A and B are shown apart, each in its own frame.
Chain A
Amino acid sequence: MAEPLQLNNVSVRYGDFTAVIEVSLRLEAGHIGCLLGPSGCGKTTLLRAIAGFEPLAAGSISLGERQISDPGQLVPTEQRNVGMVFQDFALFPHLSIAGNVGFGLSGMDRAEREQRISAMLELVSLEGTQSAYPHELSGGQQQRVALARALAPGPELLLMDEPFSSLDRDLREQLAVEVREVLKRAGVTAILVSHDQQEAFTLSDQVTVINAGRVAQTDTPYALYHNPADRFVAEFIGQGSIISVNADTQGKLSHGLGTLTPEQLSNYGQSNLGLLVRPDDIKYSARSEVQLKVLSRAFRGANFMYELALPNGQAVSCLTPSHVNVAAGELLPVQFDLQHLVLFEAEG
């Protein structure tokens, strides 16, 4: 059933404005991909282009062997065999849950259809809700109905547009896990649009970060976090700051932040380097000699997020257990623990 999705140099234009610029990406069959980026970056437009709601200005999209979009042709949405889950679910208010889930099922007899509907509802743990109407369900339940409806016809590709954004945070995280399980069980290739990296990381096998219409990086969540391709990705993904550092001839960084590899040294030079420092790169260490001044802190229950000042005044973050209780203005003993150094060319 599942097919790989391939985008080659896809561009989408609205009048003079190019919303999506030369995007290429590949998503393997049965994998879950995510288009991640700030609002207005073009990720939803790209999703709609894959769905067939937007024509391409350039490039092509294919699903398995089938080319479904290029500037000359646009296979109508209804012939693409893609399922879609909308931001506001877009359930049909005039149809019961069974009517919604069964909407896309055609060419089935009654018994087959009913069986499929109950199988889908079981998949999303909503057994027995067939005769209810959408407005009678909670938000999380509606979202699962939307998923069941999209999956029911057995699509080759499932598209999800900010599928959790209208739910509250707790529900969102719980659902993201559940949805991933459902998708994996259904073995469907799926692509979701999100601006929430938590959601993206929980759900996806592969994340494509989009910035201003272009692909910034496509990678696994882990690689994105630890090996961001550029400053944008580094700052957009996870927390942390890029500080300006200098290295000596051996590659040793100031403040004892770490040592560059010879390659890094030859690639980036010695002075005015951009170094990515994540909160988990700086650890609380009661006996450490390195003591940084606390600029501010935020209590988060299980931990504290501290904003610390390096000796030269640059700010970095540090995540500590919640029993480490140091007021602003005082000093916090820390230890730098940068497993590998992520460097960028100096700015300007």
Chain B
Amino acid sequence: MEIAVSREVSFRRLASGSYWRVALVATAAVLSVPVLVIVASLLQPYSSAWQHLADTVLGDYLTNSALLMLGVGVGTFLLGVSAAWLTAMCEFPGRRFFTWALLLPMAIPAYIIAYTYTGLLDFGGPVQSALRDTFGWGYGDYYFPEIRSLGGAICMLSLVLYPYVYLLVRVAFLEQSTAVLEASRSLGKTPWQTLFQVALPMARPAIVAGLSLALMETLADYGTVEYFGVSAFTTGIFRTWYGLGELGTAAQLSAVLLLFVFVLIVLERWSRRRMRFHHHAAQAEPSRIQLSGVRAALAFGLALTIFSFGFLLPAGQLSVWVVGSWQSGASENFLNLVVNSFALAAVAALACLALALLLGYGKRLHPGSVEQGAVRISSMGYAVPGTVIAVGVLIPFAWLDTAIDDLARQWFNVSTGLLLSGTLFALVFAYVVRFLSVSLQSVEAGLAKIRPSIDESARSLGRSPGGVLRDIHLPMLRGSLLTALLLVFVDVLKELPTTLILRPFNFNTLAVRTYELASDERLAEAALPALAIVAIGLLPVILLTRSITRETPTDEGTGVG
């Protein structure tokens, strides 16, 4: 009798466990379709366009993209890590303010910061005009760095992407056991040596996660490089598609880009195969390094500089433009745009979060190689330009619609038309494919902090896997979940190309309006919707900061020993 009962229990556990596995693999498979559609293009015949590209511009694209990634990598690392170190580990006047203010640049889309800096710094802009007026110079009398260049693109992207690094590394710093840092000091290392030899290497997973988000965004960026005339790999993709009319070759180029990203990820994992980074120690209140005098002034100055260039200046320029062109920009359906943008971003963020939980937790339950691989592939979409993802969504959805239509015609002699294509569902699906990586990173990082013994104790007390997630993980993960939600929200709010292709009839967003005006080179009029994006993006950023300014992380899986 007893045996029978226990067998039934274990069978039920197994069964509910395998539901998770089935759900995980099925979800990952569906989400992988767009990426696989793109990768599958590699199996298609190779057109002569490849030869042309290889002969002429491909080398240029590769070099520029590599330089761009290198530059943005260094830029976001320097800005993100120094901001994180200052606000997490040091005490200086204004630290509390900068803790959240340094996140704000995240709300500004890269192409918009590019417009504003061009407006500020180009020949006719206020900076150069002021220089000429002051010194009586004319054109060619003085050197001024060209903002619309590779270097400029690196600066722009670094300024808006460093918050990813900042956000993740800051948490990592706060969670580092103070004992480990003190051990380093006791072994004769100064605070600076401790930063470089212990704190930074230990924050490596967070740095890598932040950098990979920033670099994948960089690889996918089209707006900035196009406007700055930098021939990067994405420029190549679109040039091949739009200019040469070779969508197949463009998809193949994207697939190559994907493989490149995949290899990078694999290499990084391999390089730290045996190292571990978690350290479950009693969490004391972090003892901040007290800065005073010149050092405090330097810290304040550095934080203020990052904040100014990343947020104050561009937001200020947008405001100036808005004031100058208020009447032409504000139209009666402006509120409609705001509502659309907000609702879409909110729905997509929730969808991403739910799926990230399903995948992240499913992977925790079943850490097999199939599951790992499925999850990895389904979250590759972040590195792909939105337009390409959109095509990857467009093709299978249209195929499915047509197949259903065929069946319907065959069986019932009616046409079902397009059930999914051109709907908000397809659009949200594309967002999920593109941004899942962002929420998954956050959810996985949160889950990793909860020790397996916690799951096991809950399971031993009779909770199902779903019950453990609901009763144990969700409450413990609150901070991570909020971060995931808000990061995707801000990303979708800024998103343009996917929306542009997949949206239903008569559906506009702020990003679309901004783009249409800006692409017609009406920057001043584009400023109002752009500023609205920034303003709406600020709401969650401020919410997010309220959760991160709580000094100790909320997801502490460990008790105080």
- Please say whether the chains A and B touch (CB closer than 8 A): yes
Interface positions of A (Cβ within 8 A of B): 51-53, 76-79, 81-84, 86-88, 90-95, 103-104, 106, 133-136, 149-150, 153, 159, 166
Query: B186 contacts A82, CB within 8 Å?
Result: yes
Query: A90 contacts B277, CB within 8 Å?
Result: no
What are 14 A-to-B residue pairs whose CB atoms are below 8 Å? Answer: A53-B185, A78-B185, A83-B187, A86-B182, A87-B179, A88-B179, A90-B281, A94-B277, A104-B187, A104-B188, A104-B189, A106-B188, A133-B276, A134-B276
Residues of A contacting B186 in the complex (Cβ-Cβ under 8 angstroms): 51, 77-78, 82-84, 150, 159
User: How many residues from B make CB contacts under 8 Å with A?
Assistant: 29
State in angstroms the CA–CA spacing of A51 and B287 once bound together: 15
- Min CB–CB distance B191 → chain A (angstroms): 8
Query: A51 contacts B182, CB within 8 Å?
Result: yes
State in angstroms the CA–CA spacing of A102 and B197 once bound together: 12
Name which residue of chain B comes closest to A155, CB basis.
B186
Judge whether B279 is part of the interface by a CB distance below 8 angstroms. yes
Query: B276 contacts A94, CB within 8 Å?
Result: yes
- Min CB–CB distance A52 → chain B (angstroms): 8
Residues of B contacting A83 in the complex (Cβ-Cβ under 8 angstroms): 186-187
State in angstroms the CA–CA spacing of A89 and B467 once bound together: 35
- Min CB–CB distance B75 → chain A (angstroms): 24
Query: B276 contacts A135, CB within 8 Å?
Result: yes
Query: B187 contacts A53, CB within 8 Å?
Result: no
Name which residue of chain B comes closest to A133, CB basis.
B274
Query: B202 contacts A84, CB within 8 Å?
Result: no
Given contacts A103-B197, A104-B189, contact A93 B281 (CB under 8 A): no
Name which residue of chain A comes closest to B280, CB basis.
A88
Interface of B is mostly: loop
Kindly identify which residue among A79, A90, A133 contacts B183, using a CB–CB cutoff of 8 Å. A90
State in angstroms the CA–CA spacing of A79 and B185 once bound together: 9
Query: B183 contacts A84, CB within 8 Å?
Result: yes
Residues of B contacting A166 in the complex (Cβ-Cβ under 8 angstroms): 561
State in angstroms the CA–CA spacing of A84 and B182 once bound together: 9
Query: B275 contacts A133, CB within 8 Å?
Result: yes
Judge whether B480 is part of the interface by a CB distance below 8 angstroms. no
Residues of A contacting B188 in the complex (Cβ-Cβ under 8 angstroms): 78-79, 81, 104, 106, 153
Q: How many A-B residue pairs have CB under 8 A?
A: 90
- Min CB–CB distance A329 → chain B (angstroms): 41
State in angstroms the CA–CA spacing of A212 and B321 once bound together: 66
Residues of B contacting A94 in the complex (Cβ-Cβ under 8 angstroms): 201-202, 204, 272, 275-277
Residues of A contacting B48 in the complex (Cβ-Cβ under 8 angstroms): none
Chain B positions 173-217 with a Cβ under 8 Å from a chain A Cβ: 177, 179-180, 182-190, 193, 197-198, 201-202, 204
Judge whether B265 is part of the interface by a CB distance below 8 angstroms. no
Query: B190 contacts A88, CB within 8 Å?
Result: no
State in angstroms the CA–CA spacing of A76 and B290 once bound together: 13
Query: A92 contacts B202, CB within 8 Å?
Result: yes
Residues of B contacting A150 in the complex (Cβ-Cβ under 8 angstroms): 186-187
- Min CB–CB distance A322 → chain B (angstroms): 36
Residues of B contacting A76 in the complex (Cβ-Cβ under 8 angstroms): 185, 190
State in angstroms the CA–CA spacing of A84 and B185 once bound together: 9
Query: B278 contacts A93, CB within 8 Å?
Result: yes
Query: A93 contacts B179, CB within 8 Å?
Result: no
State in angstroms the CA–CA spacing of A290 and B2 once bound together: 56
Residues of A contacting B204 in the complex (Cβ-Cβ under 8 angstroms): 94
- Min CB–CB distance A270 → chain B (angstroms): 50
State in angstroms the CA–CA spacing of A103 and B276 once bound together: 17
Residues of A contacting B282 in the complex (Cβ-Cβ under 8 angstroms): 87-88
State in angstroms the CA–CA spacing of A90 and B197 once bound together: 14
Given contacts A51-B182, A92-B180, A93-B202, contact A103 B187 (CB under 8 A): yes
Query: A93 contacts B279, CB within 8 Å?
Result: yes
Name which residue of chain A comes closest to B275, CB basis.
A94
Query: B179 contacts A103, CB within 8 Å?
Result: no
Query: A77 contacts B185, CB within 8 Å?
Result: yes
State in angstroms the CA–CA spacing of A266 and B214 once bound together: 83
For the complex of A and B, the 9 pairs showing the least CB-CB separation, nearest first, are A104-B187, A84-B186, A90-B179, A77-B185, A90-B183, A93-B276, A90-B180, A86-B179, A135-B276
Residues of A contacting B278 in the complex (Cβ-Cβ under 8 angstroms): 93
Query: A53 contacts B179, CB within 8 Å?
Result: no
Residues of A contacting B177 in the complex (Cβ-Cβ under 8 angstroms): 88, 90
Cβ proximity bits B253-280 to A, threshold 8 Å, 1 near / 0 not: 0000000000000000000101111110
- Min CB–CB distance B197 → chain A (angstroms): 7
- Min CB–CB distance B276 → chain A (angstroms): 4
Residues of B contacting A77 in the complex (Cβ-Cβ under 8 angstroms): 182, 185-186
Chain B positions 432-454 with a Cβ under 8 Å from a chain A Cβ: none
State in angstroms the CA–CA spacing of A81 and B186 once bound together: 7
State in angstroms the CA–CA spacing of A277 and B518 once bound together: 91
Name which residue of chain A comes closest to B186, CB basis.
A84
Residues of A contacting B275 in the complex (Cβ-Cβ under 8 angstroms): 93-95, 133
State in angstroms the CA–CA spacing of A250 and B505 once bound together: 112
Given contacts A94-B277, A135-B276, contact A149 B187 (CB under 8 A): yes
State in angstroms the CA–CA spacing of A76 and B193 once bound together: 13
Residues of A contacting B185 in the complex (Cβ-Cβ under 8 angstroms): 52-53, 76-78
Query: B183 contacts A86, CB within 8 Å?
Result: yes
- Min CB–CB distance A142 → chain B (angstroms): 12
- Min CB–CB distance B19 → chain A (angstroms): 32
State in angstroms the CA–CA spacing of A82 and B183 once bound together: 10
State in angstroms the CA–CA spacing of A51 and B561 once bound together: 21
Given contacts A51-B182, A82-B186, contact A88 B276 (CB under 8 A): no
State in angstroms the CA–CA spacing of A134 and B277 once bound together: 11
Kindly identify which residue among B197, B198, B281 contacts A88, using a CB–CB cutoff of 8 Å. B281
State in angstroms the CA–CA spacing of A251 and B187 once bound together: 58
State in angstroms the CA–CA spacing of A50 and B170 once bound together: 30
- Min CB–CB distance A147 → chain B (angstroms): 12
Query: A92 contacts B198, CB within 8 Å?
Result: yes
- Min CB–CB distance A85 → chain B (angstroms): 9
